[in-house]
């Protein structure tokens, strides 16, 4: 299990590495400025692998352009990053990103909780274009959270699962125990409600014996 530091400010990259992050996510959609310049600022401040994310409005971010415009932004930062977060609406771009030697994180974010059949169907569909599948949903109660844990435990390929919001934020610590490979944490401003800080999650990882 790897801790991902989700950045809204390039200046936080060095602090994220010092606090124990394993990867950096640059949330370009939450930053002002030229994406290549922002990416270069991050890579000069730390030596960790970098994820490029331009999260769409439809999935909780601020990017509002077309898939073609999204891909132009992604292409501009490819020299600086190792992974690219690709939502389903941008999946036609995944092949070209992979050809550049980058790892594709196929992502899905929803303010609802799909049932188990839907979760497995999503995973199969996203696995067709993604090297890692990331599914972030919003369980309404512990019963639905158990379904998410069951799904996480059953999937054999590289997977990240998580929850939105504060109410069941403990799931962010529980899901890696059952096979979620990435835990997104905050350094500086959070990019999502309920995120643990990197330092908190380092302690949790040690206490729970997560690898």
Sheet hosting strand 132-137, strand order edge to edge: 159-163, 132-137, 103-109, 83-87, 50-53, 23-27, 2-7, 182-186
pLDDT for res 4: 98
- What is residue 2's three-state secondary structure? strand
CA distances from 126 to 68, 97, 129 (A): 20, 15, 6
Residue 28, both tokens: 């370009």
Q: Is 75 a catalytic residue?
A: no
In CATH terms, the fold of domain 2-208 is TIM Barrel (3.20.20)
* 109 included as an active-site residue: yes
Burial class (CB in 10 A: 0-12, 13-18, 19+), 207: exposed
User: Of 50-54, 55-59, 72-76, 188-192, which gets the smallest average pLDDT?
Assistant: 188-192
Q: Give, as one character, the DSSP assignment of residue 55.
A: -
How confident is the prediction for the chain on average, in pLDDT?
95
Average pLDDT over residues 129-137: 98
d(CA 122, CA 126): 6
For residues 112-128, give the mean pLDDT.
Answer: 97
Q: Which of 2, 75, 102, 109 is catalytic?
A: 109
* Whether the predicted pLDDT of 167 surpasses 90: no
Give the pLDDT score at 12: 96
Q: How far, in whole angstroms, is CA 116 from its chain's centroid?
A: 21
* 165 Cβ neighbours under 8 A, 6+ residues apart: 138, 193, 194
What's the pLDDT tens digit per position in 66-93?
A: 999 999 999 999 999 999 999 999 999 9
What the block records as the tokens of 58 is 């439809």
Beta strands in 41-180 (DSSP E): 50-53, 83-87, 103-109, 132-137, 159-163
Options 2, 75, 102, 134, the catalytic residue: 134
pLDDT band at 142 (very low <50, low <70, confident <90, very high): very high
99: confidence class by pLDDT, cuts 50, 70, 90 = very high
Minimum mean pLDDT among 3-7, 131-135, 174-178, 193-197: which range?
A: 193-197
* Residue the block writes with tokens 């059953």: 154
């Amino acid at each position: 299990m790897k801790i991902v530091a989700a950045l809204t400010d390039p200046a936080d990259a060095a602090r994220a590495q010092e606090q124990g992050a394993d990867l950096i996510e640059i949330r370009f959609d939450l930053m002002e400025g030229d994406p290549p310049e922002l990416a270069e600022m991050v890579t000069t401040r730390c030596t960790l692998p970098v994820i490029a994310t331009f999260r769409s409005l439809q999935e909780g971010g601020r990017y509002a352009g077309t898939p073609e415009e999204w891909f132009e932004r992604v292409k501009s930062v490819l020299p600086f990053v190792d992974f690219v977060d690709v939502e389903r609406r941008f999946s036609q771009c995944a092949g070209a990103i992979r050809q550049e030697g980058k790892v594709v994180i196929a992502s899905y974010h929803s303010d609802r909780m799909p049932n188990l059949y839907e979760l497995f169907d999503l995973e199969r569909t996203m696995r067709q274009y993604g090297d890692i599948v990331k599914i972030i949903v919003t369980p309404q109660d512990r019963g639905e959270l158990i379904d998410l844990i069951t799904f996480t435990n059953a999937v054999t390929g590289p997977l990240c699962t998580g929850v939105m919001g504060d109410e069941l934020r403990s799931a962010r610590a529980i899901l890696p125990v059952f096979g979620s490979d990435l835990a997104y944490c905050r350094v500086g401003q959070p990019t999502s409600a309920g995120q643990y800080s990197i330092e908190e999650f380092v302690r949790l990882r040690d206490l729970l014996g997560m690898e």
